[in-house]
């Protein structure tokens, strides 16, 4: 139960709509892809799903068909009219809002546990996911379609080429892995990049007990000069004794440190 490419084109034409590049609108028009996403989301009766960037409802329909309760967020007011036409009959709640500005506590007040399933616009995916991890503990699990580069960065581990500040942020709160690839051909219009399916599962507690402000000050400073050894990039923040207490080599570079090592370094600062 979803929309075909032909149905998406007809909906756009009937409502006088064209995909907005500024809003990163690339609609999924391949039924096999959305059915795959809905299956990997592992949701069903009793689950509460929030979908960001619902577009015309191609993914919304199979999520609703699973028996889950679905709340869809769409920033484009004109698109929301067509979206309601498609998903209103199956009981989906449509909210017109910018996901970066949503009052999540109010929106998700009906349930303590939510799953995010979404085809996220490329231009907001990374900051949005990091903000949700920081501020919205009710969202316990996420399955999102994002640009391949962003997905690999968010799921990267120490030593990976893509490992950086977002990787450490995710590792602090959750486990993450790429669970599938999505070619450009399933979208309308076709993007110039590949996408991936990224699964993020929130941990019961942060991965380390270090003060988060101190921890991420170190992470930002270290990765701000990622080609330098830590004794240079963190000069003035971490002295030789602190490196020794943390059992972290001052000759290491930031991409070599996992979340546990960053946590020890933050704890070691007097």
The CATH number of whichever domain residue 224 belongs to comes to: 1.10.8.100
81 and 113 co-located in one domain:
yes
Q: Which tens digit of pLDDT belongs to each residue from 47-85?
A: 999 999 999 999 999 999 999 999 999 999 999 999 999
21 and 149 co-located in one domain:
yes
Number of helices and strands (H, E) in the chain?
A: 12, 9
Q: Which tens digit of pLDDT belongs to each residue from 150-180?
A: 999 999 999 999 999 999 999 999 999 999 9
pLDDT of residue 72: 97
User: Which range marks the domain in which residue 73 is found?
Assistant: 5-202
Q: How many CA atoms lie within 13 A of 145 on its CB side?
A: 30
The domain boundary residue, chosen from 153, 182, 202: 202
pLDDT of residue 226: 84
d(CA 69, CA 43) in angstroms, rounded, equals 9
Q: Which tens digit of pLDDT belongs to each residue from 221-264?
A: 999 998 899 999 999 999 999 999 999 999 999 999 999 999 99
In a domain, 253, yes or no: yes
159 and 38 co-located in one domain:
yes
In a domain, 46, yes or no: yes
Q: List the one residue out of 119, 104, 111 whose CA is nearest residue 68.
A: 111
Percent pLDDT > 90 in the chain is 93
185 and 77 co-located in one domain:
yes
- Does residue 123 surpass a pLDDT of 90? no
In a domain, 85, yes or no: yes
93 and 183 co-located in one domain:
yes
Q: Which residue has the tokens 């996220």?
A: 120
List, in order, residues 6 or more apart from 79 with CB less than 8 Å away.
17, 25, 55, 56
In a domain, 232, yes or no: yes
196 and 218 co-located in one domain:
no
In a domain, 69, yes or no: yes
Q: List the one residue out of 135, 132, 139, 138 whose CA is nearest residue 154.
A: 132
Structure tokens at 29: 């028009």
In a domain, 43, yes or no: yes
In a domain, 89, yes or no: yes
Q: Which tens digit of pLDDT belongs to each residue from 175-210?
A: 999 999 999 999 999 999 999 999 999 999 999 999
The domain boundary residue, chosen from 158, 181, 202: 202
pLDDT range class, residue 4, cuts 50, 70, 90: very high
In a domain, 207, yes or no: no
Measured in whole angstroms, how far is the alpha carbon of residue 167 from the centre of its chain? 12
72 and 167 co-located in one domain:
yes
24 and 105 co-located in one domain:
yes
Pair 166, 128: CB distance under 8 Å: no
70 and 194 co-located in one domain:
yes
- Does residue 121 surpass a pLDDT of 90? no
- Asked if residue 189 has a cis previous peptide bond (ω within 30° of 0), the answer is yes
114 and 142 co-located in one domain:
yes
15 and 67 co-located in one domain:
yes
- Does residue 1 surpass a pLDDT of 80? no
d(CA 168, CA 163) in angstroms, rounded, equals 8
The CATH number of whichever domain residue 172 belongs to comes to: 3.40.50.150
pLDDT range class, residue 120, cuts 50, 70, 90: very high
List, in order, residues 6 or more apart from 135 with CB less than 8 Å away.
104
Total domains present in the chain? 2
Mean pLDDT of 83-94: 96
List, in order, residues 6 or more apart from 254 with CB less than 8 Å away.
219, 222, 223, 226, 230, 233
The domain boundary residue, chosen from 163, 180, 202: 202
Mean pLDDT of 101-125: 94
74 and 136 co-located in one domain:
yes
pLDDT of residue 264: 98
């Amino acid at each position: 139960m979803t929309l075909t490419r032909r149905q998406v084109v007809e909906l756009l034409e009937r409502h006088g709509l064209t995909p907005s590049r500024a809003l990163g609108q690339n609609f999924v028009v391949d039924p096999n892809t959305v059915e795959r996403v809905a299956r990997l989301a592992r949701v069903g009766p009793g689950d509460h799903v929030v979908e960001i960037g619902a577009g015309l409802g191609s993914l919304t329909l199979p999520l609703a068909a699973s028996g889950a309760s679905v709340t869809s967020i769409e920033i484009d007011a004109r698109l929301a009219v067509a979206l309601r036409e498609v998903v209103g009959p199956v009981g989906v709640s449509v909210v017109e809002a910018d996901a970066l500005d949503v009052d999540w506590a109010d929106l998700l007040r009906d349930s303590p546990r939510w799953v995010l399933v979404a085809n996220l616009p490329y231009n907001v995916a990374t900051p949005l996911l990091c903000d949700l991890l920081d501020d919205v503990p009710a969202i316990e699990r996420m399955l999102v379609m994002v640009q391949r580069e962003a997905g690999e960065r968010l799921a990267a581990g120490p030593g990976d080429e893509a490992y950086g500040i977002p990787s450490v942020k995710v590792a602090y709160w959750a486990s993450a892995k790429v669970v599938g690839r999505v070619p450009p051909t399933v979208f309308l219009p076709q993007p110039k990049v590949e996408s991936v399916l990224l699964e993020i599962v929130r941990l019961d507690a942060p991965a380390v007990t270090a003060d988060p402000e101190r921890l991420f000050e170190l992470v930002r400073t270290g990765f701000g000069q990622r080609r330098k050894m830590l004794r240079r990039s963190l000069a003035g923040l971490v002295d030789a004794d602190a490196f020794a207490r943390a059992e972290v080599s001052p000759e290491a570079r930031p991409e070599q440190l996992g979340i546990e090592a960053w946590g020890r370094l933050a704890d070691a600062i007097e």
